[in-house]
Amino acid sequence: MNPSIIALSAVAFTAALVAAIFGLAGGAILFLGLNFFYSAKDTVAIHSAVQLISNVSRISVFLKHIEWKVVGLFSILIIPGVYFGSLLYGYFSSNVLSILVGSSLIASVFIPKVKRSSKRGIRFVLLGFVSSFLGMIIGVTGPITASFFMLNNLTKERMIGTKSMCQMLTHIARVIVFSSAIQFNYIDILPELLILGIVSALATIIGKKVLNKLSTQKHVFLNKGLLLLIGAILVFKGLDI
């Protein structure tokens, strides 16, 4: 067992708490924490497994708020996205991707919300592909999905519940690919995964109670602030500043 499991548990708790309240940033926090204890490639694989467990706990709490039609559309191209992403695993420049993703997050804060239209479904299908594709390469795609859901007028509970279900499906596909095609051995870190999963579940329950006390307006305002912060960090990271 990793001797730093206490530190990792603290990171996982913080990540799950933030994700349960805001629907984003949790994966980014966890990814940064894992980077201190594992190699870059191992971090992407381990991040997928921990986030899978964390998303399951959020789904159990936000189940009645999930928009199943959105989940269905999102899931259509998950497998092709993960497949093509696995082919390019480790080939992309992490700096360039950080700049691109960070810039898109910053831009999403200033883009007007999307009105409902006949093309709305296509947007969610494409989002599923992009999210699963990039997830195999950079690991963290939650902020991208959350910003898109916010642009499409999903309320705070619906955004978190629906996003958690979509992300869970993505993480399942990623874990399958990592354990089979890339042959990452999850059995070796099973004790750590179980501990981090329990910690994440506890944080989710607490986070849901905090979310209930936030107004929709305040939630949107704080979410935009988080997107700007994460976007700026990714851009600066890519520029090596």
Give 62-73 pLDDT, tens digit per residue.
999 898 998 999
Q: Under a CB-based contact definition with an 8 Å cutoff, are residues 17 and 207 in contact? A: yes
Please tell me the predicted confidence (pLDDT) of residue 151.
65
Measured CA distances, 76 to 69, 165, 175 (Å):
11, 14, 18
Q: Which residue ranges in the chain fall short of pLDDT 50?
A: 118
Please tell me the predicted confidence (pLDDT) of residue 224.
80
Cα 34 from Cα 173, distance rounded (Å): 20
- Per-residue pLDDT tens over the stretch 129-174: 988 887 777 666 666 777 777 666 677 888 888 888 988 988 898 8
Measured CA distances, 10 to 72, 160, 194, 196, 205 (Å):
34, 22, 14, 9, 16
The single-letter code of the amino acid at 136 is: M
Q: Under a CB-based contact definition with an 8 Å cutoff, are residues 178 and 117 in contact? A: no
pTM: 0.75
